[in-house]
Structures are given as structure tokens and as C-alpha cells.
Structure 1
Amino acid sequence: MTSGPEVRDNTVEDRFELFVDGKLAGIAEYQDTASERAFVHTEVFADYAGQGYARRLVDAALDSTRQQGFGVLPLCPMVRHVVESQPEYLALVPAWARERFELPQ
């Protein structure tokens, strides 16, 4: 039996990890400040590409970040794309950073 994708926050490695059928399938790396979490790199490994896993990983990472009370700095292009396309995630980006990342105000 296969299990669905699972996303875990690996705070030791400063990254969210996507597992598919128990195997590491992708990562979303971050760096925390006192009030913001900067997403610096997202990668879904080749065997899992093109199956929507990157979006699941980023959605879960952003949801967890919101629950933890951090603002979001979308340095990673994938995270920026998701933030830009979802108003509920755009609200996580501090107003001062929206202009810097050329995001809607």
C-alpha cells in the first residue's frame, strides 16, 4: 500500500521535507529571522517532478509558517510564484517586502 505525500519541518536542517511513499522527494530550504522566514530554495527530485509535488510542498511549508507566526520572504522563485498567485499567502509577505519582490500591494 502506498501512502500519500507527507511534509515535515526539519528544524535541524532548516527545511521542509516532502516524503512520498516514505522516501525523501523534495525540500524547501529556509532561513529564519526573529519575525520572517526567508525561503531560499525549493527542489523536487527528478523522479517526482511533474506530479504537482512542488506545489504541495510549498503550500504545506507556507501553511506551517503561518501557524508559527512568521512572515514570508519569497526569495525562491517557486515560493514567490505560489505567494503571488494566492491572496492568503500574499498576506504573509510584510508590506515592506512586497515592493522589493515586485508583488501586489
Structure 2
Amino acid sequence: MTETQTQTIVTRNDEDRRYEGHVDGVLAGFTVFRIDAKGRLHFPHTEVDPAFRGRGIAQTIVAEAMADVARRGETVVPHCPVVAKYLRTHEVPGLTIEWPDQPRPE
């Protein structure tokens, strides 16, 4: 990281059920999750403030969120295109993924 770049700090906000990305203390974006009856985290939406777009913040938020979910031993169900694309192109060690378009075993 160069001196002119700023770091995105990602935290889990359980009250609002989302992972938030802050840049210099300002909320730059977030990815929302909902927890189903089985305890799985469904990720329906990711959003970045227009003032922060083009900096890779969405990918940073999703990467940190997926790593945290893996550490917690939780399961992800990706509905958000940003989350789904990240998971299709990156391996997250220890992460359990249930793709919403996969048929359930009988």
C-alpha cells in the first residue's frame, strides 16, 4: 500500500446484519446478510457509496466478510451477484457455500 492509499476497515455489524467497510472512519459500503432458520447467512445485496466506487471496496468488503464467516464456521448462501462472482473466482479456506441454484439432495 502506498502512502496515498487508504485502508478499508471491514467489521461485522450484527445489529444491522451486514459487514461494513469504512475508509478513514466513513462508511464506504456494505454487504447485507440475513440468517435463515438453519443458521445460514444469505447475502442478497452489496452496496458501495458512489463517492468510493472504483477503488475495489466491494471486493474488499466481500473478501473480509467471507473470511470471517469461514472462521465462524457459518454457511453462506450467495444471492448477490458481487458475492457470487467473488466466490466463483476466489477460494476461501474453510468456507461452506450453498449455491441457491443447486438442487437439494433427496
Give TM class, smaller chain. Answer: 0.7 to 0.9
List, as ranges, runs of 4+ consecutive aligned residues in structure 1 with deviation greater than 4 Å.
Answer: none
The percentage of aligned residue pairs carrying the same residue is: 27
Structure 2 residues not aligned, in runs of 5+: none
- Corresponding position of 2:15: 12
**How has the CA–CA distance of structure 1 residues 38 and 17 changed in structure 2, closer, same or farther, with 3 Å as cutoff?**
same
Work out which of the residue numbers 67, 70, 74 in structure 1 matches 2:74. Answer: 70
Query: Residues 26-55 of structure 1, C-alpha deviation per residue, up to 9 Å, x if partnerless?
Result: 010001133311101100110000111110
Structure 2: how far apart are the matches of 1:64 and 1:91? 9
Are residues 1:21 and 2:24 paired? yes
Aligned residues: 99
Work out which of the residue numbers 44, 63, 82 in structure 1 matches 2:86. Answer: 82
- Structure 2 SS opposite 1:87: coil
Structure 2: how far apart are the matches of 1:88 and 1:14? 21
Q: Normalised by the size of structure 2, how large is the TM-score? A: 0.82
- Structure 1 SS opposite 2:97: coil
Q: Normalised by the size of structure 1, how large is the TM-score? A: 0.83
Query: Residues 40-86 of structure 1, C-alpha deviation per residue, up to 9 Å, x if partnerless?
Result: 11001100001111100000010111111111100001000001111
- Corresponding position of 1:37: 41
Deviates more, 1:27-36 or 1:43-52: 27-36
Structure 1: how far apart are the matches of 2:67 and 2:31? 13
Structure 1 residues not aligned, in runs of 5+: none
Task: Indicate the RMSD between aligned Cα atoms, in angstroms.
Answer: 2.4
Query: Residues 2-22 of structure 1, C-alpha deviation per residue, up to 9 Å, x if partnerless?
Result: 852100100000000100000
